[in-house]
Amino acid sequence: MARTKDPAVRSLLLDRAAQMLRTRQPVTLRTLVADTGVSTMAVYTYFGGMDGLWTALRQEGFIRLAAKLAAVGMSADPVRDLAALGAAYLSNALESPDLYRVMFDAGFGLEDAGAADETLHCLVRAVERARATGRFRDEVDSLELATQSWTIGHGLASLVATGPLPHETLAHGVPLLTALFTSAGDEAGRCRRSVELGWGWTPPAGPASPDRTDGTRDSRPDPGP
C-alpha cells in the first residue's frame, strides 16, 4: 500500500527553499533537507526532483501574490483599486525578492498556469469596473490596459526589489499610473487623487510572510509626491 504524502512536508521544503533564497544560500538537494528531519528522498517523493521543486516554488510565488492581491479591498473607486493592486504587487516583490525572481523564470513550468493568469485578471476586472463607471472610455481594451499597468509595477519591482535603484524610485508609480489612466479617459485631477490613495495601500495587519524576518525594511511603496 502506497504511503500517504504529508502536505506539511511539502510546505516545509517550499518554505525552506524560499528562506534559503532570501538568505542567499545555495539551494541543492542536500542543503535543502539539512536540519529539516527529512531525507533527500522527500524531494523526489513530493516534487520528482529539484526541477519539480523549482516548478512548485515558482507556483508558490504566484500563490503568495494572489493572496496579497486578494487582501486589497475593493472600493467604490476602481481607479484607486487598480493603483492599490499595483502597490500590493510591489509589496509582494519587496517582501520576497528572490522568490519574485523565480516566479518569472520561464525555464521552469507552472503547476497551474491558470492560477498564475488569475493574478493579472484581478487587474482586468478592476479596469472593467472603471469602464462601467465611466472613468475609462468604453473602447478601452481591458486586458491591454491591465497588462500596461502590470508592466509599470513589474518594471519598478525589477529595478528596486531585484535591481540597482533605491526604494524612493517607487514614488514614480504615481505619475506613471496617472498618465496611463488619464490616457484611458479619466480626468487628470481626479485620477491623480485616486492613484495616490491606491498607491498608499499597505498590507492588513497579520502574521508576517514565511520568508520575512524582523527588521526588514517596510515593504509598502512610497505614496509619491
Residue 214 lies in a domain: no
26 and 114 fall within a common domain: no
Residue 194 lies in a domain: yes
Low-confidence ranges of the chain (pLDDT < 50): 1-2, 207-225
The terminus-to-terminus CA distance of the chain in angstroms comes to: 64
Q: Which domain range does residue 116 map to?
A: 61-199
77 and 33 fall within a common domain: no
> 153: closest CA among 58, 60, 69, 56?
69
pTM over 0.75: yes
Residue 127 lies in a domain: yes
Residue 215 lies in a domain: no
172 and 122 fall within a common domain: yes
Residues 6+ apart with CB under 8 A from 149: 82, 85, 86, 123, 127, 177, 180
Give pLDDT tens digits for 18-32. Answer: 888 878 889 999 999
137 and 167 fall within a common domain: yes
44 and 126 fall within a common domain: no
CATH number at residue 193: 1.10.357
- Count: domains in the chain: 2
